[in-house]
Amino acid sequence: MSNTENSLLLGIAQKFGTPVYVYDGNVILNQYEKITNAFASCKTKIKYACKALNNQHILKLLQQAGCGLDVVSIEEAQLGIKAGFAPDEILFTPNCVSFNEIKQGVDLGLVINIDNLSMLQQFGHTYGATVPCCIRINPHIAAGGNIHIQTGHIDSKFGISIHQLRHVIRIIEAENIHISGLHMHTGSDILDAEVFLQGAELLFECATAFKKLSFIDFGSGFKVPYKPDDVSTDIDQLASALTSRFKEFCKQYGSELEIWFEPGKFLVSECGNLLVSVNVLKQTTSTVFVGVNSGQNHLIRPMFYDAYHHITNVSNPTGKPRLYSVVGYICETDTFGWDRKIAEVHEGDILAIANAGAYGYAMSNNYNARLRPPEVLILNGKTTLIRRRETLDDLLATQIS
């Protein structure tokens, strides 16, 4: 982190207090441009997975850049529409919801993505060929480096098994359903283009059974760097391999289909830092703990997914590195990082927890009656508060007196 970035973050911490989420909007736009440029040779649509970060300002930023939206709940869809997305720009991919929620999606005009046989049959019985839909296929590919973020393996709750394709076709024929797209998402943190190509071949094989497709959606799962010198997905290499094969398939299929992706982490992870203050240094017989004024209530990924988030001391960036374990103030084991080399820490210092743009605030909660932090957006050098800090009144607002 440069001296300029350090100074900017310290200024934000001083102005808005800590803990505080800080997002760099230009990083988001650069990531969006990177993926659209990589796949420019195809008819490509990017659908931002808004579960990663759904603040209205972030949604509007991406909508104005030309991005579409991927949502997993009717409430996310409503947020997207409020942010300016047209309903037909929104892909609705829920799982284990009631059919009533599917019907709400149809009423809103969303692109519906069905991920189980029961919903497919109910959808067809209700709408027949009048409302097109997409099908989410589970290819049984265990992609990604962490079992917690794999969604394409055989025991996953997501998608319709590729081995159930014959049953799918029977339902489609019986109910006269118009299938407009095929979809898969195998997991996160995928490095190898071969994983996408393997999944692509399975989808291409499935696609031959559907004569009116307009798109194929390959999900996302692109890996971003978490540690200094960490590896990440080579988007250009992936695009070169996948678009070449996709164009071949389109010729065989007899139609130029659209290729869709739905990145979340790839677009917003690196834009974010969670700034926290050091409450206390606590030395035990084996460890020096840095206790901060945040915890799993604000950033649960390290505890939930065993995720790595790089931590720097922005108050003392040139200090001598020492070994610390950074922990939170929640009455649980909420460790942000074990045995980390961090520039010497003092009580009152400001630490920056990196890669906090994706699944940070979106997964935050009020455990221990703690309040959620504000969110700040930096865009073209301008700093804007885009969500205020919660108050005790916010906690009580929905309770009946």
For residue 396, the SS3 value is: helix
Query: The tokens of 333 are what?
Result: 């084991």
Among candidate residues 42, 67, 206, 331, the one labeled active-site is 331
**First-last CA distance in the chain:** 49
Chain-centroid distance of CA 16 in Å reads 26
Asked if 129 and 178 count as a contact pair (C-beta separation under 8 A), the reply is yes
CB 101 within 8 A of CB 71: no
Q: Report the alpha-carbon distance of residue 241 to residue 235 in Å, rounded.
A: 10
Q: What are phi and psi of 240, to 5 degrees?
A: -60, -45
For strands 111-114 and 133-138, give the pairing: parallel
Angle, helices 235-253/193-207, rounded to nearest 10 degrees: 10
| Exposure class string for 170-195: b at 16+ Cβ within 10 A, else e | ebbeebebebbbbbbbbbbbbbebeb
CA–CA gap between residue 228 and residue 169 (Å, rounded): 48
Give yes or no: 67 in active site.
Answer: no
Tokens found for residue 279: 């409450």
How far, in Å, CA of 365 to CA of 386, rounded?
18
- Whether residue 19 has a cis bond before it, omega within 30° of 0: yes
Catalytic residues: 331
